[in-house]
Structure 1
Amino acid sequence: MRAGRLGVGVVGAGRVGAVLGSALRATGHAIVGATAISEASRERADALLPGVPLLEVPEVVERAELVLLAVPDDALAGLVLGLAEVGAWQPGQLVVHTSGRYGVSVLEPARAAGAIPLAVHPAMTFTGTSLDLARLEGCTFAVTAPAAVQPIGQALVVEIGGEPVIVPEETRGLYHAALAHGANHLVVLVAQAAQALEAAGIEKPGRVLAPLLSAALDGATRAADAREGVGPGAISALTGPVSRGDVGTVEEHLAVLADLAARTGATDIPDSYRELARGAARRALASHRIDDTAAQALLDALGGPESAGRSTPS
Structure 2
Amino acid sequence: MSAGRAGRLGVGIIGAGRVGPVIGAALAGAGHALTAITSGSDDDRVEAILPGLPVVSADEVVRRSELVVIAVPHEQLPGLVAGLADVGAWQPGQLVLHTDPAYGARVLDPAAQRGAIPLAIHPAIVFTGASSIDLRQLAQAYAAVTAPGPVLPIAQALAVELGCEPVVVAEEDRTVYAEAIATATEFSRSIVRQSSDLLTRVGVDNPGGYLSALVRSSVDQALIEGAGLRGLDGDDTIDG
TM-score, normalised with respect to structure 2: 0.91
Residue-by-residue CA offset, 1:190-232 (whole Å, 9 max, x unaligned): 1112222333343333344233222211111122233359999
Which protein has the larger Cα radius of gyration, Structure 1 or Structure 2? 1
Aligned CA distance change for structure 1 residues 76 and 114 (closer, same or farther; 3 Å): same
Quote the Cα distance in structure 2 between the aligned partners of 1:55 and 1:225: 46
Q: Which residue is 1:52 aligned to?
A: 53
Q: Is the 8 A contact 2:145 2:167 kept in 1?
A: yes
Q: Is the 8 A contact 1:14 1:44 kept in 2?
A: no
Q: Which has the higher contact order (CA 8 A, sep 6+)?
A: 2
Quote the Cα distance in structure 2 between the aligned partners of 1:226 and 1:36: 46
Tell me the matched-pair count.
235
Quote the Cα distance in structure 1 between the aligned partners of 2:203 and 2:151: 56
Aligned CA distance change for structure 1 residues 8 and 226 (closer, same or farther; 3 Å): same
Q: Which residue is 1:287 aligned to?
A: 238
Aligned CA distance change for structure 1 residues 47 and 226 (closer, same or farther; 3 Å): same
Matches within 5 A, 1:118-129: 118-129=119-130
User: Is the partner of 1:68 in helix, strand or coil?
Assistant: strand
Q: 1:23 aligns with which of 12, 23, 26?
A: 26
Q: Which residue is 1:112 aligned to?
A: 113
Aligned Cα root-mean-square deviation (Å): 2.0
Matches within 5 A, 1:188-267: 188-228=190-230
Matches within 5 A, 1:135-214: 135-214=137-216
Paired letter, 1:150: L
Structure 1, unaligned runs of 5 or more: 235-285, 290-314
Q: Which residue is 1:133 aligned to?
A: 135
User: Is the partner of 1:96 in helix, strand or coil?
Assistant: strand
Paired letter, 1:227: L
Structure 2, unaligned runs of 5 or more: none
Quote the Cα distance in structure 2 between the aligned partners of 1:228 and 1:193: 29
Aligned CA distance change for structure 1 residues 228 and 116 (closer, same or farther; 3 Å): closer
User: Is the partner of 1:141 in helix, strand or coil?
Assistant: strand
Is 1:33 the equivalent of 2:32? no
> Sequence identity, in percent?
49
Q: Which residue is 1:14 aligned to?
A: 17
Question: Alpha-carbon deviation of 1:133?
Answer: 1.5
Quote the Cα distance in structure 2 between the aligned partners of 1:112 and 1:214: 45
Q: Is the 8 A contact 2:17 2:40 kept in 1?
A: no
TM-score, normalised with respect to structure 1: 0.71
Quote the Cα distance in structure 1 between the aligned partners of 2:90 and 2:142: 29
Aligned CA distance change for structure 1 residues 197 and 164 (closer, same or farther; 3 Å): same
